Amino acid sequence: METDDALLQEFIRESVDNIALAEKALAQLAADPADPKAGTPVFRAVHTLAGTAGFFGFERLGLLAHEGERFLGPWRDGVPPSLERRNLAAELLDAIRGAVSRVAAGGPEGPEDFKALRARLRTAALAEA
């Protein structure tokens, strides 16, 4: 269906744009880790993707993004992330970017379910709580 394809292309474009904004925010956090607002764009990008991935049936990507959302929750609230947490966020964004690229190429999100990364995000989120 043409409309479905147009919506999918918009999802891909917005996802790529949001990932770029999140990566820019990570770079700002590297320069000023104590900036309480710098992590918000990272959370927002993953939050948006978590909501829209399920709409298109990208269950694995949605599960990853939802776990990332929990991990990034403190960033939204202004808690400055450690270097280790910023590195894990970069890994999350890399995984999301890869999944979106595979979808853009007409394939599935990926062969994996991101289980190991989701577990690390969950563990880190629980440690922060």
H or E, element range at 76: helix 59-76
Domains in the chain with CATH codes: 2-128 (1.20.120.160)
- pTM of the prediction? 0.92
Residue 82 DSSP class:
P
Q: Per 3-state DSSP, what percentage of the chain is helix, strand, and coil (rounded to 5)?
A: 80, 0, 20
Q: Give, for all 129 residues of the chain, the pLDDT tens digit.
A: 445 889 999 999 999 999 999 999 999 999 998 888 889 999 999 999 999 998 899 999 999 999 999 999 999 888 889 999 999 999 999 999 999 999 999 988 887 889 999 999 999 999 976
CA distance linking residue 28 with residue 127, whole number of Å: 24
Task: Name the DSSP letter for residue 111.
Answer: S
